[in-house]
């Protein structure tokens, strides 16, 4: 869902949004009670709420990812749950180490395998739901993103304050009903401003495969509200190359131009059109055979360009206006390994 595809109109785990139509997913045949009960019985009924869970699960995840039986176990569980096997995601997980940066790079390669539901469909949170709560985790500025692209990382940020920046995702999965949803949270402090907290739900998506791969995008406003990101499709960054921004929608009325989107995400206060929004991307995937362990990733971006959105994209110093803007984008990244718990 773009809300799930927003992977988390999404997290982490959130259509072409605005003009998207949401595909209706037919009601699936319930999974066998035994496999769901086995999954639930292996989980504590205490809610995940601390960094201890994340830290303690690192070794668990390492063992699961590197298990020689991973592929076979996932295939067996997928069959029991009447789900497909995502061979591409499975291959990526089977070849990755437990290093968080390597996991993030492999997650970048994984394609969403969820299906949109109607935008007004509300997931029922009952005893069959497994919740993956990352707890709050730090987001750090990076120069090279998990997507391999380069970002601006000055010694002193032009976008973010010198403060702790954090994200959190609570992903809800019902393997029986084959559906999922997520609550997303951020605590961000922009340069020269006080901390702002954002909170929203991604909407509900249908589960089709194991491992689950789901992502979401959102636009974060400086006042704590959120909105659609207004880029076409679900992108893990505002840039798709060093010289090209993600595509914007084109229509007769209501669509945002490239100039307007550059204004939205611009943080140069000397530019009167700068709206100081942030681009949000979240991704979630299960990383073990049973689906009881997941990995979540959150990415936040903002630009700082004096000339952004001034009209004609005329070349500047041998570079296009778009390239100058892209070179100003700063990026926060963070990820967490999460052990799922039965919802109380």
Domain ranges in the chain are: 33-342
Is residue 43 predicted with pLDDT exceeding 60?
Answer: no
Nearest partner of 186 among 202, 204, 201, 169, judged by Cα = 169
| Residue 62: CA count within 13 A, CB half-sphere | 9
DSSP 104-156: HHHHHHPPP-EEE--TT------TT-EEEE---EE-EE-SB-TTS-B----SS
Q: How far apart are CA 76 and CA 142, in angstroms?
A: 39
> What's the pLDDT at 289?
82
What letter would DSSP give residue 266? B
pLDDT tens-digit map of 132-153: 999 999 999 999 999 999 999 9
pLDDT tens-digit map of 66-82: 445 778 888 899 999 99
Average pLDDT value for the chain: 81
pLDDT tens-digit map of 90-113: 888 877 766 667 777 888 889 999
For residue 211, say if its preceding peptide bond is cis, omega within 30 degrees of 0: yes
| Residue 237: CA count within 13 A, CB half-sphere | 24
Is residue 13 predicted with pLDDT exceeding 60?
Answer: no
Q: Would you report the helix, strand and coil content of the chain in percent, each value rounded to 5?
A: 20, 30, 50
pLDDT tens-digit map of 160-215: 999 999 999 999 999 999 999 999 999 999 999 999 999 999 999 999 999 999 99
User: What is the rounded radius of gyration, in angstroms, for the C-alpha atoms of the chain?
Assistant: 20
What letter would DSSP give residue 204? -
Residue 24, both tokens: 């209706």
pLDDT tens-digit map of 259-282: 999 999 999 999 999 999 999 999
> What's the pLDDT at 69?
74
Question: In the structure, what pLDDT confidence band is assigned to residue 332 with cuts at 50, 70 and 90?
Answer: very high
What letter would DSSP give residue 48? P
Average pLDDT over every residue of 319-338: 93
Q: How far apart are CA 166 and CA 16, in angstroms?
A: 28
Q: How far apart are CA 279 and CA 300, in angstroms?
A: 6
Residue 205, both tokens: 């998506």
Q: How far apart are CA 297 and CA 97, in angstroms?
A: 16
CA 208 to chain centre: 18
The residues with which 337 forms a beta bridge, in sequence order, are 295
Contact present, 245 and 322 (Cβ < 8 Å): yes
Alpha helices in the chain (DSSP H): 33-41, 51-65, 70-80, 87-95, 100-109, 258-264, 321-326
Q: Count other C-beta atoms under 10 Å from residue 301's C-beta.
A: 21
CA dihedral (316, 321, 323, 327) in degrees, to 10, reads: 90
- pTM for this one? 0.82
Strand pairing class (209-210; 84-85): parallel
């Amino acid at each position: 869902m773009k809300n799930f595809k927003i992977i988390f109109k999404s997290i982490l785990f959130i259509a072409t949004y605005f003009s998207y139509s949401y595909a209706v997913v037919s009601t699936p045949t319930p999974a066998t009670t035994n496999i769901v009960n086995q999954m639930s019985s292996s989980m504590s009924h205490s809610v995940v709420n601390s960094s201890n869970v994340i830290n303690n699960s690192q070794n668990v995840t390492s063992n699961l990812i590197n298990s020689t039986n991973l592929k076979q176990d996932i295939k067996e569980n997928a069959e029991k749950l009447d789900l497909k096997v995502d061979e591409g995601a499975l291959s990526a997980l089977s070849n990755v180490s437990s290093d968080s940066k390597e996991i993030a790079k492999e997650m970048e390669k994984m394609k969403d395998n969820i299906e949109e539901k109607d935008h007004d469909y509300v997931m029922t949170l009952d005893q069959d739901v497994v919740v993956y709560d990352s707890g709050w985790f730090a987001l750090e500025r990076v120069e090279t993103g998990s997507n391999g692209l380069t970002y601006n990382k000055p010694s002193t940020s032009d976008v973010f304050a010198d403060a702790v920046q954090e994200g959190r995702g609570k992903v809800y999965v019902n393997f029986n009903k084959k559906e999922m949803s997520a609550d997303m949270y951020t605590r961000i402090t922009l340069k020269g401003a006080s901390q702002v907290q954002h909170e929203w739900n991604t909407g509900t998506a249908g589960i089709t495969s194991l491992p689950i791969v789901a992502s979401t995008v959102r636009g974060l406003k400086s006042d704590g509200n959120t909105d659609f990101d207004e880029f076409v499709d679900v992108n893990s960054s505002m840039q798709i190359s060093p010289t090209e921004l993600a595509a914007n929608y084109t229509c007769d009325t209501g669509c945002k131009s490239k100039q307007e989107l550059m204004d939205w995400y611009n943080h140069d206060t000397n530019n009167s059109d700068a709206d100081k929004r942030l681009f949000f991307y979240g991704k979630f995937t299960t990383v073990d055979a049973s689906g009881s362990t997941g990995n979540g990733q959150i990415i936040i971006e903002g630009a700082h360009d004096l000339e952004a959105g001034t009209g004609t994209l005329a070349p500047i110093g041998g570079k296009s206006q778009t390239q100058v803007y892209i070179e100003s984008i700063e990026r926060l990244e963070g990820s967490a390994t999460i052990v799922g718990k039965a919802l109380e």
